[in-house]
Structure 1
């Protein structure tokens, strides 16, 4: 398996990530039919600001950059060590992504493993995440990495 390590994100990396994260999150919410397109990016920015009130310095939060064996960046991850719904000892993975140009080479699985190790080292006994149903590659990755469905939301267009 490809080896990936994680380190804390730098302030410059954080600023760039925040801009792209809001756009990506807004696009996912619109595509899932949860938000209207108008105002979606601003809403995503506001949600992220609430979850990360002190940016990189937000307590009990891991904001990470994945690095390959050559020291090159491969992706990012954001983990809250306190679950948003209060599940004890369960961290929550808000974001994980491999840089688009680096996808398809096993780096997602390796980055996920490194993030899991970091969360465990920080005291988490479990890691939970949300994945949109249309993201079949991510659903398959998480399933093959040992994640189990604990809740499921379904929709049918009428």
Structure 2
């Protein structure tokens, strides 16, 4: 397996990531039927700003850059050490992504392992995440890494 380390994001990396994550999150919410398209990116930015009021220095948040053995960026991740629904000891993985040009080389699994270790070092006893059901590659990665379904939402178009 590839080796990946994580380090805190710099302010510049954080600003770039905020734009990209807001756009991607808005698309996911619109496609899932949770939000309308008008104002979706702004809504995503607002939600992130509420969760990260001090940017990458927000207490109880790990805003991480994944790097390879040469220190080159390979991805990023965002972990809340306090679960959004208050589950004690359980951290929450808000975002994890390998840079598009670095995908398909086993770096996703390595980044996930590094993020899990960072959460463990920060005191978490478990890590939880949400994944859209249509994201079969991510679902497969998480299942093969030992994640199990603890809640599930289902929908049928009428």
SS at match of 2:79: strand
Secondary structure at the aligned position of 2:134 is classed as coil
- The reply on whether 1:9 has 2:9 as its aligned counterpart is yes
Query: What is the 5 A alignment of 1:25-104?
Result: 25-104=25-104
The TM-score with structure 1 as length reference comes to 0.99
Over 2 Å off, 4+ runs: none
Structure 2 unaligned spans of 5+: none
Residue 9 of structure 1: how far off its partner (Å): 0.4
1:9-62: per-residue Cα shift (whole Å, max 9, x none)?
Answer: 000000000010100000111111111111100000010011111111111110
Unaligned runs of 5+ in 1: none
Q: How far apart are residue 90 of structure 1 and its match? A: 0.3
Per the TM alignment, residue 2 of structure 1 is displaced from its structure 2 partner at its CA by 0.5
Q: Could you tell me how far apart the structure 2 residues matched to 1:133 and 1:33 are?
A: 13
- Say how many residue pairs are matched: 158
Query: C-alpha separation between the residues in 2 aligned to 1:152 and 1:47?
Result: 23
> What RMSD in Å do the two structures reach over aligned CA positions?
0.5
